[in-house]
Amino acid sequence: MDCREVEELIEAHALGALEADEREQVDAHLADCGDCRVQYEESLRVAQSLALSVPIVAAPPDLFHRTMADVHRDLAMAAGVEEKVRWYNSGWSRRLAPLSAAAASLVAIAALGFSLSANNRVDDIDDRSAAQGEPDAQVMSALQEQQLFTLALAAEDRRELDLNPASSDVEPEPEPEPDATPEEVRAAYLWAASEGVGVLLISGLVAGAVYTACIETEDLGVRAGGLMQVFTNGSANKAFLLEPGDPMIALGITESENCEADSSAWTHHWEIR
C-alpha cells in the first residue's frame, strides 16, 4: 500500500474496523512511514476519546467487594505465609478473641460432618459471588459447601474467631462447658486469608429451619451472606461461608428472607470485637 491508499483506511484502522488482511497491510506501511504514523496516532487519540462519551452508570456496589477480595487474596498468596498472617492480623488483631476450646470442638464436629477431604478444592470461588442477588442461586449444593468448607479448614493460615460472648471484650473468655445444652446457640468464625474463604459455624439451631446468613461490614453495611439451611448431623451444626472484603462489624443469621438493616434485629447476631 502507498500513502494515499493508507490514508483512506487510517480512521477505520484507529477504530479497529479493518478486516485482518487490510490491518496487516496498513500496519506494515505505518511501520515504515512516519508521516502516516503521525496521522494514525491523531486518529487513534480521537478514537480512544470516544470511550469518554459513554453514559456514566454507577458501578454495582458488589463489584468493589468482589474486586477487593481478589486483590487481598492475591496479596496474601504472593506474600507467603508470614506475610499472610501479618496481613490478617493487621486488619483483625484488635477484634480477635483467643481461640477457645468451644470453637475448636465446633470445628472438629463440623469437620466430621463434612467428611474433610484435602482433595476437594474449588477452583472458582467467585461463582458464588456472581450468584448473589438471585435468591434461588444463593443456595449452594452440598458438594460446593463441602468444598469451600474444606478449603477453609485446610488453609495453613486459617484463624478461628470465637464469637461468644458477643457483648463484651472486657470479661475474660468463659471456659466452655463440656455438657453445654444443645439449645444454646454458639458460633465461631473461620477465616482463611489465603483462600479468601470465611466459614461461619453455628451450633444449637433448630434443625430443618432455613436462615439467611447476614454480614455487616464497615464499607458496605448489611448484606446477605447467602442462604443457610440448618441440617442435623446429631448436633444441629451448620457451616456457611462468608467472604468479607472489608472489616466486619457483625455476623449473624435471620429467619427473614432479607437481612434487616439493624443487625440487632437478626435472629442471632454476633458483634466482632
Q: CA-CA distance, 130 to 206, in Å (whole number)? A: 29
Is 169 one of the binding residues for other proteins (CB under 8 A)? no
Listed ranges 48-56, 141-149, 181-189, 230-238: which one lies at the site for other proteins (CB under 8 A): 48-56
* Residue 49: CB minimum distance to other proteins, A: 5
Tell which positions 129-168 bind other proteins, by CB under 8 A: 130
Listed ranges 42-50, 99-107, 151-159, 232-240: which one lies at the site for other proteins (CB under 8 A): 42-50
User: What's the sign of the alpha-carbon dihedral 259, 253, 150, 155?
Assistant: positive
Tell which positions 1-40 bind other proteins, by CB under 8 A: 8, 11-12, 14-19
Binding mask 90-129 vs other proteins (x if CB under 8 A, - otherwise)? ----------------------------------------
* Residue 41: CB minimum distance to other proteins, A: 10
Q: CA-CA distance, 196 to 45, in Å (whole number)? A: 40
* Residue 185: CB minimum distance to other proteins, A: 36
Tell which positions 55-94 bind other proteins, by CB under 8 A: 55-60, 62-64, 66-68, 70-72, 74-75, 78
Asked if 222 and 259 count as a contact pair (C-beta separation under 8 A), the reply is: yes
Candidates 43, 55, 52; CA nearest to 15 is: 43
* Residue 231: CB minimum distance to other proteins, A: 31
272 contact partners, CB below 8 Å, separation of at least 6: 95, 161, 163, 247, 248, 249, 250, 251
DSSP symbol at 119: T
The distance of Cα 222 from the centroid of its chain, to the nearest Å, equals 15
69 contact partners, CB below 8 Å, separation of at least 6: 129, 196, 243, 244, 245
Which one of 3, 24, 48, 247 is in contact with other proteins (CB under 8 A)? Answer: 48
Is 172 one of the binding residues for other proteins (CB under 8 A)? no
Burial (CB count within 10 angstroms: exposed 0-12, middle 13-18, buried 19+), residue 154: middle
How many residues touch other proteins under the rule CB under 8 A: the total is 39
Residues that bind other proteins (CB under 8 A): 8, 11-12, 14-19, 42-43, 46-60, 62-64, 66-68, 70-72, 74-75, 78, 130
